[in-house]
Amino acid sequence: MKKYSFVKMNGAGNDFIVFDKNTTTGLQFSSSLIKKLCDRRFGIGGDGIITITKSDSHDFEMEYFNVDGTTGTLCGNGARCAIRFAEVFGISKNKSVKFLSNGISYSGDVLDDDLIRFKLNSPNSLKENFSFPVSGTEIKANFINTGSPHVVLFIDDLSLKENFKFESLNDFPVYSVGKEIRYSNEFAPDGTNVNFLEIKNSLVHIRTYERGVEDETLACGTGSVASAIITFLQKQIPPPIVLQARGGDKLIVDFSAEGTLIKNVSLTGPAKINYSGEFTL
């Protein structure tokens, strides 16, 4: 039997189990172990697992695992938690850091005790105002890849469809509709994350169905970035754009734009340590 230490963190309610791989040598993150640890009833509980490793060329290297054990995509709130983790535990010595995720270089800043800014690379694969069938009717949607693939929909557009019955974003069937779109042939074989937006007084309220978690999460970093960019392009709301996450915290997305060319993208919001602990294998 061996004990392993972890830190539980959350970025705007998007929660992660974080490991310093330099002090947890020998721990193999198999799909079965990841599912067990992330289970909210029989494990620690989380939307995913993050590992932090020392790097020769950067402050650290981050690896992110979804609940289902898959990896390879960017996690925006996870990146902000990793930046906070590295600062608290002395892995990085400066308030501004550079790190690797999936072999790609990123940077970020510790702005305050719990306020972290993550700088993303420019998005790609933008596709606006295309239609595809959902729940027996054609809907209009937008797509953009911000390090992870995201569909963005405005619920005002969906309210015009007889197949969707809801009063506001609060009672919109995010799980069922999100799951259907996530597995739609339109986005096969890899699938997509799905974001539903409602704008009130320039504040973007967002709910997200996350691929890999296969459920709604309380916040999604790359989804918030995708939604802010689409909101700018579709609704002409200028950056920085504030988004109200399902968990209650606000995320701020900033960027510069030259037409549809989006640059200097950043995601700012809270990243907090919930607690530390250990488990035995």
Q: How confident is the model at residue 195 (pLDDT cuts 50, 70, 90)?
A: very high
For the stretch 120-156, pLDDT in tens is 999 999 999 999 999 999 999 999 999 999 999 999 9
167 and 102 in one domain? no
pLDDT over threshold 80, residue 281: yes
Secondary structure letter of residue 229 according to DSSP: H
User: Of 75, 134, 151, 155, which residue is the catalytic one?
Assistant: 75
How large is the average pLDDT for residues 17-38? 95
DSSP bridge partners of 9: 16, 273
Both 130 and 231 in a single domain? yes
CATH number at residue 187: 3.10.310.10
Is residue 254 within a helix (H) or strand (E), and if so which, with residue range?
A: strand 250-258
Q: Among 18-22, 25-29, 138-142, 215-219, whose mean pLDDT is lowest?
A: 25-29
Q: Which of 10-14, 90-94, 220-224, 270-274 has the lowest mean pLDDT?
A: 90-94
Q: What mean pLDDT value characterizes the chain?
A: 96
**For residues 101-114, average pLDDT:** 95
Q: Which of 80, 11, 21, 20 is CA-nearest to residue 46?
A: 11
Q: What pLDDT is attached to residue 10?
A: 98
pLDDT at site 161? 81
CB 94 within 8 A of CB 238: no
110 and 137: one domain? no
Residue 63 is encoded by which pair of tokens?
């690896």
Are residue 262 and residue 237 in the same domain, yes or no? yes
Amino acid at site 179: K
Q: How confident is the model at residue 114 (pLDDT cuts 50, 70, 90)?
A: confident
Note the pLDDT of residue 163. 81
Residue 27 tokens, joined: 């721990």
Residue range(s) defining the domain that contains residue 103: 3-117+271-280
Please tell me whether residues 26 and 155 are part of one structural domain.
Answer: no
**Residue-level pLDDT at 124:** 97
Residue 26 pLDDT level (bands cut at 50, 70, 90): confident
DSSP state of 187: G
Asked if 147 and 261 sit in the same domain, the reply is yes
Amino acid at position 201, single letter: N
- Are 88 and 153 in a shared domain? no
Residues 94 and 135 in one domain: no
Same domain for 250 and 198 = yes
> What pLDDT does 172 receive?
95
- CA end-to-end span of the chain: 5
Give yes or no: 81 in active site: no
Percent of the chain at pLDDT above 70?
100
- What pLDDT score does 142 carry? 98
Residues 173 and 257 in one domain: yes
One-letter amino acid at 40 equals R
Question: Has residue 164 got a pLDDT over 90?
Answer: no
**What's at 73, amino acid-wise?**
T
- DSSP letter for 81, please: H
Q: Which residues on adjacent β-strands are paired with residue 63? A: 51
Domains identified in the chain, total number = 2
Whether residue 112 is found in the same domain as residue 232: no
Active-site annotation holder among 17, 120, 220, 265: 220
- Each residue's pLDDT tens digit, 217-266: 999 999 999 999 999 999 999 999 999 999 999 999 999 999 899 999 99
Nearest to 116 by CA among 82, 74, 66: 82
CA dist., res. 222 & res. 253, Å (int): 10
Residue 220: active-site member = yes
SS3 169: helix
The pLDDT of residue 160 is above 80: no
Stretch 178-188: mean pLDDT, rounded? 97
Please report the pLDDT score of residue 18 as a whole number.
98
From CA 36, how far away is CA 265, in angstroms rounded? 35
pLDDT of residue 25: 85
Closest CA to 151 of 142, 159, 160: 142
Asked if residue 233 and residue 97 are part of one domain, the reply reads no
C-alpha to C-alpha distance for 92 and 86, rounded to whole angstroms? 5
pTM for the full model?
0.97
